């Protein structure tokens, strides 16, 4: 495949995700969520995640903005759905590495490699990275939620019992 063929294929994958976004919408039982914005371009993304047993059981995104930001969100949800939180965080790191190095990720990353060309345009890197950074924030919020839930389970103290 020539370089221009590959660029065309990547462009087609990107447009397909933009026009037919995967996992777009809201979750009835999200365990965490986060909102991210890229003021430079006007991109907005909200991500909801249902974490169950350390695994991303379900994920959805909503938002608006340029084709790169929305297509990247669609690709991200496809990649992380069903994976462990750990694997999802590794995915965030791998994506950021691709944006720095400009080298495509392996086949196991599926459609995500279609965004490799964005690495050449620093302004667009913010568009492509938005969904991944927002996912990371949602997973951090999940950790906080877990910590709060654990704290709430602490047995009541003698003082509280006497009231």
> Which positions lie near Zn ion, rule CB under 5 A?
41, 43, 66, 69, 127
Our CB check for Zn ion shows the closer of 45 and 56 to be 45
Residue 103 neighbours by CB distance under 10 Å: 10
Residue 120 neighbours by CB distance under 10 Å: 9
Residue 119 neighbours by CB distance under 10 Å: 18
Our CB check for Zn ion shows the closer of 43 and 48 to be 43
What are the residues whose beta carbons fall under 8 Å from the beta carbon of 149, sequence distance 6 or more?
A: none
Our CB check for Zn ion shows the closer of 30 and 41 to be 41
CB of 44 to Zn ion, least distance (A): 10
CB of 4 to Zn ion, least distance (A): 24
Region label for 65, one of left (φ > 0), alpha (ψ between -120 and 50) or beta (otherwise) = left
Distance in angstroms (rounded) separating the CA atoms of residues 119 and 112: 12
Our CB check for Zn ion shows the closer of 32 and 118 to be 118
CB of 18 to Zn ion, least distance (A): 11
Q: Which of 59, 98, 96, 94 is nearest to 80 (CA)?
A: 59
CB of 99 to Zn ion, least distance (A): 14
């Amino acid at each position: 495949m020539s370089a221009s063929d590959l660029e065309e294929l990547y462009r087609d994958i990107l447009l397909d995700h933009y026009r037919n976004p995967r996992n777009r919408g809201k979750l009835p039982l999200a365990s965490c969520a986060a909102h991210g914005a890229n003021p430079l371009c006007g991109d907005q993304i909200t991500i909801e995640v249902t974490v169950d047993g350390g695994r991303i059981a379900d994920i959805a995104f909503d938002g608006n903005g340029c084709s790169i930001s929305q297509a990247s969100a669609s690709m991200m949800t496809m990649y992380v759905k069903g994976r462990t939180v750990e694997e999802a965080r590794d995915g965030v790191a791998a994506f950021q590495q691709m944006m720095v190095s400009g080298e495509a990720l392996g086949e196991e990353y599926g459609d995500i490699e279609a965004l490799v060309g964005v690495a050449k345009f620093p302004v667009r890197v913010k568009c492509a990275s938005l969904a991944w950074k927002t996912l990371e924030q949602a997973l951090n919020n999940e950790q906080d939620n877990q910590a709060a839930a654990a704290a709430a389970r602490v047995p009541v103290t003698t003082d509280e019992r006497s009231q």
